[in-house]
Amino acid sequence: MTSPANSRPAFSTPEELILVLDFGGQTAQLIARRVRDQNVFCQLVRHDLSIERIRELNPKGLILSGGPASVYEPNSPQVDPQIFELGIPVLGICYGMNLVGQMFGGRVQPGTKREFGRTECQTIATDPILAGLPASSTVWMSHGDHVQETSGLLIPLMKTSTCEFAAVKHRDRKVYGLQFHPEVTHTQYGGLLLGNFVKTVCGCHGTWKISSLIEREVASIRARVGNKRVICGLSGGVDSSVVAAILYKAIGSQLSCIFVDNGLLRKGESDKVRDRFQNHFKTDLHVVDASARFLDELAGVTDPQQKRMIIGRVFIEVFRKEAESIPDAHFLAQGTLYPDVIESGANHDGPAATIKAHHNVGGLPEQLGFELIEPLRDLFKDEVRRMGLELGLTDELVWRHPFPGPGLGVRCLGELSAPRLAKLREADAIVMEELRLAGLYRQIQQAFAVLLPVHTVGVMGDGRTYEEVVAVRAVSTDDFMTADWFPMPHDILQKISTRIINEVRGVNRVVYDISSKPPSTIEWE
């Protein structure tokens, strides 16, 4: 093992790049994603990235994101005026538009009426950025300030009943501003506007593809790894599987994968991982069956946070021991995604970036002493899925619902024991199978069974039973921060209930969870 330094170089630059300067808006990362939907590579960077670095990255265009500040407040984040001298198009969105307004003599003021939500917007000019836009469309506003009057340098392109300058363009330069948010789906023609900006105004061809990203990543991994060995922790989930698949493509036999069976996994998970990474990809796979040790350490524990802490600690110990047994291991691969990097709020670009302590395999500390490889660092979740499919992973794996690191440990409420976990595992497998059979799996973002720590009375045949209860949970959500309970068709609920009660010994009652988040959480513990 070697130094823990994360010496990954700044992101590699493809031929056509759009940079989003991040002023702290909640939807800044969405802008980058929408631009990538146009097959143009897009990267979020700090708003104060140096002009030299921007020149070096050679973007085809710049987008200034929204942000929570007001441009006229002291210490509000500002833009380097030199960006307007680079000769490349600039698009300011919301706060970014106010910066454009301020820069070119407009007056930015708090609006008499704050505008939030859907607003009708009129198109009042002709310009390449407006190509294909109807005379009237719905946009999503979320702002207090707006550009109130201009020096004549900024020409209005769109307006709403309360905002005269909903979209503007500089008279002589390719500098634009949108007071609304084209990146959110509520803006009817947001994709069209961003597409026009990126393709027509900036002149991008839209040749970026996931497969070109795979090729680039493979080349960069090979160059970095040389003839050294890389360890990859597998969790059974999408991110770590895609990481392993791309590493396997890049370095083949120099990859060693570690899969810790903590006894808290779903039915068949361990076999699936073996099948995928030993039989399909012929990786050097180390499956460590530590289920007895986990159960031992968890004996008698009922508090959810204590369970999480124990599971996390034992995982690290088991993983470390196995990693140390692999000779010459130098790198550790992790499935850090782009939103995790952004959420760190730190330097987005360059080696100094501090990364949120996010680990897909359950929380591996930096002190393990490996150099980190993070091949998914530039990607959003949907892009990781596309990459997974391109790399030959199955639909089933790529669209798998998220499964928490502590696994069944936080779904088997109360004390954990091998028989209770076995019950839960069976019930959970029935839920999954029925959702797949009904074609509902992809409509639901997360579903699972929970074993409750109560016994209830039932009758089976002529006898009275006193057995445990299974709760079924299924939610619809965009981001897992809020979630609605899924309105499950009654016939599917009936099938699930009948099967669980008939097939899982020791369960005589099934209930369906009809609580949304907030105030409930998705998991029960």
Conformational region of residue 392, where left means phi above 0, alpha means psi within -120 to 50, and beta covers everything else: left
Active-site annotation holder among 16, 42, 47, 94: 94
Would you count residue 484 as binding ligand XMP (CB under 6 A)? Answer: no
Would you count residue 446 as binding ligand XMP (CB under 6 A)? Answer: yes
Q: How far is the CB of 446 from ligand XMP (least distance, A)?
A: 5
Instruction: Answer yes or no: 42 catalytic.
Output: no
DSSP labels for 103-161? HTT-EEEEEEEEEEEEEEEEE-S--GGGTT--SEEEEEEEEEEEEEE--SSEEEEEE-S
Q: Between 280 and 517, whose beta carbon lies closer to ligand XMP?
A: 517
Q: Between 116 and 480, whose beta carbon lies closer to ligand XMP?
A: 480
**Burial label, 395 (beta-carbon count in 10 A; 0-12, 13-18, 19+):** exposed
How long is the chain? 525
Q: How far is the CB of 428 from ligand XMP (least distance, A)?
A: 13
Contacting residue, 224, 286, 455, 517, with ligand XMP by CB under 6 A: 517
Maximum CA extent, the chain = 88
Q: Between 6 and 515, whose beta carbon lies closer to ligand XMP?
A: 515
Tell which positions 18-37 bind ligand XMP, by CB under 6 A.
none
**Burial label, 14 (beta-carbon count in 10 A; 0-12, 13-18, 19+):** middle
Q: Between 350 and 363, whose beta carbon lies closer to ligand XMP?
A: 363
Q: How far is the CB of 29 from ligand XMP (least distance, A)?
A: 18
Alpha-carbon span 134 to 198, nearest angstrom: 19
Contacting residue, 72, 116, 399, 480, with ligand XMP by CB under 6 A: 480
Instruction: Answer yes or no: 94 catalytic.
Output: yes
Q: Which residue has the tokens 């704050």?
A: 114
Angle (CA) 330-345-81 rounded to 5° is 115
Contacting residue, 308, 348, 400, 425, with ligand XMP by CB under 6 A: 308
Q: Between 65 and 360, whose beta carbon lies closer to ligand XMP?
A: 360
Instruction: Answer yes or no: 181 catalytic.
Output: yes
Contacting residue, 404, 434, 447, 488, with ligand XMP by CB under 6 A: 404
Q: Prior bond to 81 cis, omega within 30?
A: no
Per-residue x/- track, 257-296, ligand XMP (CB under 6 A): ----------------------------------------
From 68-76, 186-194, 341-349, 404-412, span contacting ligand XMP (CB under 6 A): 404-412
Q: Between 233 and 405, whose beta carbon lies closer to ligand XMP?
A: 405
Contacting residue, 25, 61, 236, 406, with ligand XMP by CB under 6 A: 406
Q: Between 193 and 416, whose beta carbon lies closer to ligand XMP?
A: 416
Q: How far is the CB of 429 from ligand XMP (least distance, A)?
A: 17
Active-site annotation holder among 47, 181, 330, 348: 181
Alpha-carbon span 428 to 447, nearest angstrom: 9
Active-site annotation holder among 183, 371, 434, 468: 183
Amino acid residing at 175: V
Would you count residue 409 as binding ligand XMP (CB under 6 A)? Answer: no
C-beta of residue 307 within 8 angstroms of C-beta of residue 413: no
Q: Beta strands 17-22 and 41-46: pairing type?
A: parallel
Query: How many other CB atoms are found less than 10 A from the CB of residue 281?
Result: 20
Would you count residue 522 as binding ligand XMP (CB under 6 A)? Answer: yes
Alpha-carbon span 245 to 166, nearest angstrom: 46
C-beta of residue 298 within 8 angstroms of C-beta of residue 310: yes
Catalytic positions, written as ranges: 94, 181, 183
Binding site for ligand XMP (CB under 6 A): 308, 402, 404-406, 446, 480, 517, 521-523
